[in-house]
Amino acid sequence: MKLQDELPLDHHLAAVYRWGAAFCGVVLLVFGSLGFADELSPFDTNGDSVAGMSSNGALSLISVAVGLMLIAGAVIGGNVASTLNMAVGTLFLLSGFVHIFILDRPANILDFGMTNVVFSFVMGLVVLTFGMYGRVSSKLSHDNPYWQHRHPHEAARESLARGAGPAPEARLRPARRPAGGT
């Protein structure tokens, strides 16, 4: 069983994943488009500023590509948007850490400044939070498919108590036979 197939299409979490991906994608798309509007050269590192952050053509291209990817994830929705949000958020956080160490060095080909690093951390945390919302918590509701996947026996027991039949996970497993019995 794949957890990515467990979220029902009309589950309320899908809206959170979609809106989060769309919002962050539009922010990145606007930033990248402003960089293209300023006609920045691709790998120029002289400190051209766009929306308060230093940028160049390569960073604008990456921003537009990631923004479009997040918007596509928002259109698809569901677990695709959630997983994409978590992956992009993680990449933003890693980018922030990498760029802290290469500020003011020749390896800083994207012309990152400290404001870019802070933006990378903030955007990474926002996108990651949207992706993990409802998936990672110690207090998930028992109707949440992620909780049911992590606690299949309790989910089956609760489902039987409600009279709804066994939970989907429990229906797929063969019944256990007692040890030593026939």
Give the 3-state secondary structure of residue 163: coil
pLDDT tens, residue by residue, 59-109: 889 999 999 999 998 888 777 888 899 999 999 999 999 999 998 888 888
DSSP label of 167: -
Residue 1: per-residue pLDDT? 46
* Average per-residue pLDDT for the chain: 78
Asked whether the beta carbons of 26 and 71 are under 8 A apart, the reply is: yes
Greater model confidence, 158 or 100: 100
The tally of CA atoms less than 13 A away on the side-chain side of residue 122 is 9
Q: For residues 62 and 124, is the Cβ–Cβ distance under 8 A?
A: no
More confident residue, 56 or 42: 56
The token duo for 115 is 């404001």
What are the tens digits of pLDDT across the range 24-48? 999 999 988 888 887 776 766 676 7
